[in-house]
Chains A and B, each alone.
Chain A
Amino acid sequence: MIIVDGHLDLALNALQGNRDLTVSAYETRIAEFGRVGKGMAQGTVALPEMRQGRVALSFAVLTARSTGCVAPHMDFASAVQADASAHGHLAYYRALEAEGHARLITDRQQLDHHIFAWHQWEQLADGVPAHADMPPLGFVVLMESADPVLAPDRLEVWWDEGLRIIGPAHFGSGRYAGGTGSEQGLTPMGRELLAEMDRLGFILDLTHLSDASFWEALERFEGPVLASHSNCRTLVPNQRQFGDSQIAAVVERGGVVGVLLGCSDLVADWVVGARHNGAVTMRAVVDHIEHACSVAGDALHVAIGTDLDGGVGRDEFPRDLDTIADLQSLPRLLQERGFSAGDVDNVMHGNWLRCLRGAWSSPAAARQVDG
């Protein structure tokens, strides 16, 4: 089963975490053995495991905030620094592409070609252990917090460089919008940004927006929307997750919500970093998928956006997942919960693909192609 993952912070791991993602997660765990820091020696994502897990496509993140609350390697003291750091992330993906590990997907044609190649490989590969002719891993580049965009009129340069999805905010009050943990809405510059995103054909990622930003962005933005990694507030009542009305609003726009795997986003009573949390398994992921599907009324608007490398390690994810390769257990768990074979396909990859194809067939995207 090929998988599309809506959220991986790959470049952050490589450049700020100094992880060589071309070697396996297990090798990196050994290299990090004894080192102190969040998630150290407990990484779950590297390119070999992504291949093993058949993660044919993922939304690969550029992230560098500049909110005014400085945090080392994450939240920069000025927008110029965030711009540069995000460009480093993009350069990393381009270098992986040049080395044949990855393929950056920026339009409908590339997407169709890429997915066709993976399906073709999978048909041949099933029953054959060797992964010899596996196609490269596909990346759609997503910017998490638009802080690195120096000004809205600079967005076209980012489009030309390959960026396709933008979440205007991350944590706190960003330059363009209030994000998680903030009650601020869009800033005046954020409104300009959305207009420019619409003009160029960008996809809007609603994850991490404050509630105020979420509703205003949905109202203003006319183009395609998604939520790359957001769970259900009904099950985990905090602002980081989406309430049912938010899920319904995304569905109404034809968008897709990616369910994430962090235990603190899966169950309400999880304490990050605590030693005595209860047992959380991948069934909790199915709980969120199921709830979001029940809000949507079908299985066409929910997918996965794992966030498996978002700064924490194995101990903050379901205990029956060791690396991203274990995402392959999800289809069976979904079937056990009564999802049809077609619905399982949709959740594992079909919905994200339809979402991208729709976005890249839109009038704005067509204008871009026509030049």
Chain B
Amino acid sequence: MLVVDGHLDLAMNALQLNRDLLTSAHTIRSNELGTPGVGRAQGSVALPDMRRGKVAVSFATVFARSSGQAVAHRDYASPTQAYAIAQAHLAYYRALESAGHVRILEDNASLTAHMRQWEEWDSGEIAGDGPPLGLVIAMEGADPLLTPESIEEWHSAGVRIASVSHDGVGRFAGGAGSAVGITPLGARLLPMMARLGVVLDLSHASDRTFDDALQLFPGPVLASHSNCRSLIPHPRLLTDRQLSAIVERNGVVGVSMTGWQLRPGRRVGRSDEPRASLADFIDHIDHICQLAGNALQVGIGSNLAAALAREDYPVDIDTISDLQAVSGALAARGYSDADVSAVMHGNWLRLLDDAWGR
């Protein structure tokens, strides 16, 4: 079953963690034995594993914060620096594309042709290792934009999805855990995004930003990697009201595989606490489906490349290739074949199709 994954920080792994994603996750692990740092020698994502997991399309992030609280290799001392790092992320995807490993998808024609090729390969009609992996470029947090208007330049360069903030207070909006909403810069950005057809990603938005953004942004919305706050009480997750608001806009919510977003009481890096499982993951998918009244507004946003340790992902997931297990778990929970394929890929594809059809 083909998979679309709504959130993978591939370039951050390559450029900030120095992982060669052309080699398998297991190879990278062995190269990192003895390297200090969270999640080292425990990565779950690389291109060969994505291929094995039939991840035909993923939303690949360009990510560099500049919130005023500098953090090495993550939150930069000036927007100029964040801009350049995000450009490097984009250059990585372009370099992978020129080497034939990936295909950057920017419109409906390329998406349709891409999916047809993957389906033919999946059904055995064409041989080989499979077509290039499809990437939709997503900017996570708008801090790399030097001005709101420069989103146009990034759109021309391939960015098709953008969120306004990461955690904390960014230049364009307050993120999860802050009381800040859309800033004046953000209020200039959102209409520009809508005009260009850039999809708004609501993951990491603060509650105020969420409401402000829905008011200011008339275009298509999604939450690339956010779970249900009614199951895990944390401001990073979406309340039932917020989930319903996304459903009302015919958006899609990508359910994340980070353990702390899945299992109540599980905290990051706490080996002493029980690990999350695929069953917890299905609980979140099911909660959203019950709320929506159908299985059309939810997808996978694994976030498996977030540089966490393996123990902070479900116990039954070793690498991203194990996303293939999600379909069976859904079927076991009573989901019909049509609903399973909707969750595995159909819903994300419909959203892109709608957004790009305009």
Are the CB atoms of A80 and B22 closer together than 8 Å?
A: yes
Q: A84-B14, A84-B95 are in contact. Are A91 and B88 (CB under 8 A)?
A: yes
Contact assessment for B70 and A88 in the assembled complex, using a CB-CB cutoff below 8 Å: no
Most chain A Cβ neighbours within 10 Å, of B20, B72, B77, B80: B80
Q: Number of A-B pairs whose CB atoms are under 8 Å? A: 102
User: Distance in Å from the Cβ of A303 to the closest Cβ of chain B?
Assistant: 28
State the Cβ distance, B103 to closest chain A Cβ, in Å: 15
Contacts A18-B77, A150-B95 given; indicate if A91 touches B84 (C-beta within 8 A): yes
Interface of A is mostly: helix
CB pair B76–A18 under 8 Å, yes or no, is yes
Q: Does B333 contact A (CB under 8 A)?
A: no
B127 at the interface (CB under 8 A from A): no
Residues of B within 8 A of A85 (CB): 15, 88
Known contacts A31-B70, A70-B31, A84-B89: does B81 contact A78 (CB below 8 Å)? no
Q: Are B18 and A84 neighbours in the complex by a CB distance under 8 Å?
A: no
A contact residues around B22 at 8 Å (CB): 78, 80
Q: Would you call A196 an interface residue if the criterion is a C-beta within 8 Å of the partner chain's C-beta atoms?
A: no
Which residue of B18, B71, B83, B91 contacts A95 across the interface (Cβ within 8 Å)? B83
B183 CB within 8 Å of chain A: no
Residue B349 is within 8 A (CB to CB) of chain A in the complex: no
C-alpha gap A16/B18 in the complex (Å): 12
B18:A76 contact, CB within 8 angstroms: yes
Residues of A within 8 A of B95 (CB): 80, 83-84, 150
Considering the complex, give the chain A residue whose CB is closest to the CB of B72.
A18
Q: B99 at the A/B interface (Cβ < 8 Å)?
A: yes
Say yes or no: A89-B84 contact (C-beta < 8 A), given A81-B92, A84-B89, A98-B146: yes
In the complex, chain B residues whose CB is within 8 Å of the CB of A88: 15, 84-85, 87-89, 91
Contacts of B81 in A (CB 8 A): 14-15, 18, 20, 92
- Cβ distance B148 to chain A, nearest Cβ, rounded Å: 15
- Give residues 119-165 of B contacting A (CB, 8 Å): 146
By a CB distance below 8 angstroms, the chain A residues around B71 are: 18
Closest Cβ neighbor of A96 among chain B residues: B80
Least Cβ distance of B65 to chain A in Å?
11
Assembled-state Cα–Cα distance A126/B312 (Å): 62
CA distance A80 to B95 in the complex (A): 6
Residue A73, interface by CB 8 Å: yes
Known: A84-B92, A87-B87, A88-B15. 6 other contacts (CB 8 A): A11-B84, A20-B77, A31-B70, A70-B18, A85-B88, A87-B88
* 15 pairs, CB–CB < 8 Å, chain A vs chain B: A15-B84, A20-B78, A22-B78, A70-B18, A70-B31, A76-B18, A77-B18, A80-B96, A81-B18, A84-B14, A84-B92, A85-B88, A87-B88, A91-B91, A92-B83
**Chain A to chain B: the 5 pairs with minimum beta-carbon distance, closest first:** A88-B88, A91-B87, A84-B92, A87-B91, A77-B20
